[in-house]
A and B are shown apart, each in its own frame.
Chain A
Amino acid sequence: EPEVTQTPSHQVTQMGQEVILRCVPISNHLYFYWYRQILGQKVEFLVSFYNNEISEKSEIFDDQFSVERPDGSNFTLKIRSTKLEDSAMYFCASSWWSTEAFFGQGTRLTVV
């Protein structure tokens, strides 16, 4: 069964550093997403990506964040100048149109 894969599974970074979280969505899906979940809390929408551009973003997704689909298979989330409060699980997901989303296993980002 096709699946969404995310790397790395765990990333530790110094405050102020830049990190890139990587995802390989399911190949024939149209929509790609990043979500975030601070430990023990709700799953928060960050951004959706369709037709090679951002289709929607939340208020969390400010200038510190960017997404890219550089080669038609990978989907990346870049976080510039990380802060302690960026520590969370980051989930990538993909979907067809108005169907269920398939989520990766997540990247646990720890900012120290």
Chain B
Amino acid sequence: SQQGEEDPQALSIQEGENATMNCSYKTSINNLQWYRQNSGRGLVHLILIRSNEREKHSGRLRVTLDTSKKSSSLLITASRAADTASYFCAMLTQGGSEKLVFGKGTKLTVNP
């Protein structure tokens, strides 16, 4: 299966702490994307990292990609209660397919 696996499945931290979520996948990718989903709502794109990139930053977000280990991590620094959501990695695989394959997600709770 091409599906990604995130860990942990759930993460609970205090406001101000950093949150790290990991994603592993099985096939070669074109790029890897992270999405956020508030409860019962749509998926919001956070950041995209291409297969030839190793690290990318956007505001309080830092994403790394290790294609040799087929893994990625999302770091949210100085977390806020408003960061409480589910976070998904999604892989755009190589080979012409333009479909995103989503991982199972990490449910992040940031306690005030």
Q: Do A and B bind each other?
A: yes
Residues of A near any B CB (own CB < 8 A): 31, 33, 35, 41-45, 48, 50, 55-56, 89, 91, 93, 95, 97-106, 108
What would be 7 A-B contacts, judged by CB atoms less than 8 Å apart? Answer: A43-B102, A44-B102, A45-B101, A91-B43, A99-B48, A101-B100, A103-B35
A50–B98 CA distance with the chains assembled, in angstroms: 9
B interface, CB within 8 angstroms of A: 3, 30-31, 33, 35, 40-45, 48, 88, 90, 92, 97-105
Contact between B42 and A106 (Cβ–Cβ < 8 Å)?
A: yes
Inter-subunit contact B30/A98 (CB<8 Å): yes
Q: Which residues of A contact B41 (CB under 8 A)?
A: 105-106
B42 near A48: Cβ-Cβ < 8 Å = no
Q: Would B99 and A43 count as touching, CB distance under 8 A?
A: no
Contact of A98 among B40, B44, B98, B104 (CB under 8 A): B98
Which 9 A/B pairs are nearest by Cβ-Cβ distance?
Answer: A43-B102, A105-B42, A103-B43, A100-B45, A103-B42, A42-B104, A31-B98, A100-B48, A48-B99
Are B99 and A56 in contact (CB-based, < 8 A)? yes
Chain A residue at minimal CB-CB distance from B35:
A103
Task: Provide the residues of chain A in CB contact with B33, threshold 8 Å.
Answer: 100-101
What's the Cα separation between A76 and B99 when bound, in Å? Answer: 18
Tell me whether A91 and B100 are in contact in the complex, defined as CB-CB below 8 angstroms, given that A42-B105, A100-B33, A100-B48 are known contacts.
no
- Distance in angstroms from B1 CB to nearest chain A CB is 11
Chain A residues near B102: list those with CB within 8 A.
35, 42-45
Nearest CB of chain A from residue B21's CB, rounded to whole Å: 15
Most buried by A among B45, B90, B99: B99
Bound Cα distance from A104 to B44, whole angstroms: 9
Is the beta-carbon distance between B48 and A43 smaller than 8 angstroms? no
